[in-house]
Amino acid sequence: MKRNLLLTALLAASVFTGAYAQEAVDQDMVNKIREEGLNHSQVMNTAFYLTDVSGPRLSGSPELRHAQEWAMGQLKTWGMSNVALEPWGKFGKGWDVQKNYAAITVPYYHAIIAIPKAWTPSTNGPIKTDVVLLKVDTVTDLDQYKGKLKGKIVIMDTKTTLAQGLKPDLTRYTDEELDKMAKAGPEQPRGPRPGNANNFIETRRRMMAMRTAVSTFLMDEGAALILSQARGTDGTVFTTNGASYAEDAKPVLPELETSGEDYLRIVRLLKGGISVQMEADIQTKFYTDDLQGYDVVAEIPGTDKKLKDQLVMLGGHFDSWHGGTGATDNAAGSAVMMEALRILKTIGFKPKRTIRLALWTSEEQGLFGSRNYVLNHFGDPKTMTLKPEQAKVSAYYNLDNGTGKIRGIYLQGNQAAGPIFQSWLAPFKDLGASTVTIGNTGGTDHLSFDAVGIPGFQFIQEPMDYNTRTHHSNQDTYDRLSADDLKQAATIIASFVYNTSQRTDMIPRKELPKPPPAAGN
């Protein structure tokens, strides 16, 4: 019934009008939050320590731990309670880069732009050798290279050409785009893939099998180093995972993710019959003394007798990839969430419900930090076995889409939350945040909460150059952070957290998700 009413409302142009009255917003408190957040911000200083000072925060690395220690110190300095490094379970090996040098030496000298793939090993000291072009369409094509690759650097043939810069790297949402999001209906479950799904799966399966066969072959033949082509242009290198971080991961070869321009130059030379020699010295280090994963948590304790056991949570993932310093992914979100907490503490706010910050790790490997936290505290999405604490979390707010300011919020299909959030956004219309969309957004830690029926939300952020330039790239550095955008985001989130902590009722929940079919067996 309620659902039908809301569905009807969704058909109107202005979706949630008429429902505001119930959500009184304390304008005085909003003013205090705005004053602290916009005019006395520390968000850029926080971001500086998470990026420039700490370096890349790859899961399990000493650089991540450095950033965690700094964050805990800072949170304590700000007066937060229960600041802790909470283990969430076993992750695997830490890893970082200790030396990264590679250059073409024949036909002339040229140092290349390249990044070791995460969790790949070192070269056998400095090496200097020929580069061999591998042209392989089927597994049997490998035979011709038997006995020819020992100690060589190997590159794969490709038909790739580089994208041209026909569009700006950096964009912000237009009013039309936001309007479309606001008017969108509930998402329909996706039907089967159009065209021949079996063909697609079969192609993918064959490709994966091929890749494994090539890897095994190169390992057996004793190649010295693999060059793979990175996504990106202009010196921008998007990095990926190159090997397993598992304690018992099977050995792989050193592998360099090579900038498009440098990769294609080498391929063109070899295809043109011109010999290429290179020198390289890649030293990476594995850390196995502590295989645990940890989240940083901190609280502003609740003060209302009845409500202080209830929680408002906010967070974002704290780990990053290793090519840059993970500034937009996700020092930005981490710094904003820490700043939101600082704002509330600094203005002397005593919440009714307890406010808990969590800075997750191993998000990049599969949301492990938040998933395991949820498993440890709230319930198991595989069986939908819930713990008592699950019932006590009003909402979880997440930020993880770069440096862009907040333009609104994704309801993640939770229609009942719409009118509430509309009211809470109203005082921030002048800062550009007013869109509430029923739509989902995926790929990050709010999903871990959503999976066990806790309202988990991610904000709509300006796209900026997240998808074009920074997301997982060597260019994800402090330079990409927009101070004004981050201040705005921290201010609005502080206000959301404030409202959630004081609201008479908890945020309404969607129907509890059904456990996936496998769990029924």
Q: Judged by CB under 8 A, which stretch of 1-9, 86-94, 99-107, 203-211 contacts a copy of itself?
A: 99-107
Cα distances from 178 to residues 120, 434, 441, 465, 470, in angstroms, run: 42, 9, 14, 18, 23
By the 10 Å C-beta count (0-12 exposed, 13-18 middle, 19+ buried), 19 is classed as middle
Q: Which amino acid is at 454?
A: I
Binding mask 382-421 for a copy of itself (x = CB under 8 A): ----------------------------------------
| Nearest of 40, 44, 89 to residue 336 by alpha carbon | 44
The answer to whether 134 and 157 have CB atoms below 8 angstroms apart is: yes
Write down the least CB distance from residue 210 to a copy of itself, Å: 26
Q: Which of 63, 363, 445, 450 binds a copy of itself (CB under 8 A)?
A: 63
Looking at residue 184, its amino acid is A
Question: Which of 73, 79, 107, 185 lies at the binding interface for a copy of itself (CB under 8 A)?
Answer: 107
Q: How far is the CB of 257 from a copy of itself (least distance, A)?
A: 13
Q: Which of 92, 121, 260, 418 binds a copy of itself (CB under 8 A)?
A: 260
Is 404 or 419 the residue whose CB approaches a copy of itself more closely?
404
Which is closer to a copy of itself, CB of 140 or CB of 161? 161
Q: Does 48 bind a copy of itself (CB under 8 A)?
A: yes
CA distance 68 to 89: 17
Choose between 55 and 418: whose C-beta lies nearer to a copy of itself.
55
* 126 touching a copy of itself, by CB under 8 A: no
Task: Work out how close the CB of 163 gets to a copy of itself at its nearest, in angstroms, rounded to a whole number.
Answer: 10
Question: In the complex with a copy of itself, which residue's Cβ is closer, 269 or 344?
Answer: 269
Task: Say which residues have a Cβ less than 8 Å from residue 284's Cβ, sequence separation at least 6.
Answer: 95, 96, 97, 98, 116, 120, 121, 122, 254
Query: How far apart are CB 81 and a copy of itself at their closest, in Å?
Result: 28
Angle at which helices 332-346 and 483-502 pack, to 10 degrees? Answer: 50
Sole window of 109-117, 151-159, 335-343, 355-363 interacting with a copy of itself (rule: CB under 8 A): 109-117
Considering only residues 128, 231, 265, 510, which one is a binding residue for a copy of itself as defined by CB under 8 A?
265
CA–CA distance from 144 to each of 132, 270, 271 (Å)?
Answer: 12, 16, 16
Residue 55 CB, shortest distance to a copy of itself, in Å, is 3
Binding to a copy of itself in span 197-236, by CB under 8 A: 233-236
Phi, psi of 113 (to 5 degrees): -95, 115
Helix (H, G, I), strand (E, B) or coil at 329: helix
Binding residue (CB under 8 A) for a copy of itself from 131, 134, 153, 237: 237
Whose CA is closest to 229, among 332, 133, 312, 366?
A: 133
Which x/- pattern, by CB under 8 A, does the window 77-96 give for a copy of itself? -------------------x
**Mapping DSSP to helix (H, G, I), strand (E, B) and coil, where does residue 253 land?**
coil
In this structure, the strands spanning 277-287 and 354-360 are unpaired
As measured in angstroms, the least distance from the Cβ of 503 to a copy of itself is 38
Q: Taken in order 29, 32, 38, 40, is the CA torsion positive or negative?
A: negative
Among 23, 25, 70, 101, binds a copy of itself (CB under 8 A): 101
Helix (H) or strand (E) run with residue 84 in it: strand 81-90
Q: Is 41 in the site for a copy of itself (CB under 8 A)?
A: no
Of 241, 254, 253, 293, the residue nearest 118 (C-alpha): 241
Q: Which of 452, 479, 451 is nearest to 465 (CA)?
A: 479
The residue from 24, 111, 184, 209 that contacts a copy of itself (CB under 8 A) is 111
41, 42, 46, 54: residue in contact with a copy of itself (rule CB under 8 A): 54
Residue closer to a copy of itself by CB (options 43, 269) is: 269
Q: For a copy of itself, which residue of 361, 477, 488, 501 counts as binding (CB under 8 A)? A: 477
Write the single-letter amino acid at 187. Answer: E
| Separation between Cα atoms, residue 70 and residue 54, nearest integer Å | 9
Window 130-169: residues binding a copy of itself (CB under 8 A): 161-162, 164-169
**Residues that bind a copy of itself in the complex, under the rule CB under 8 A:** 48, 52-56, 63, 66, 96-101, 103, 107-111, 113, 161-162, 164-170, 233-237, 259-261, 264-265, 268-269, 272, 274, 325, 465, 468-469, 474-475, 477-479
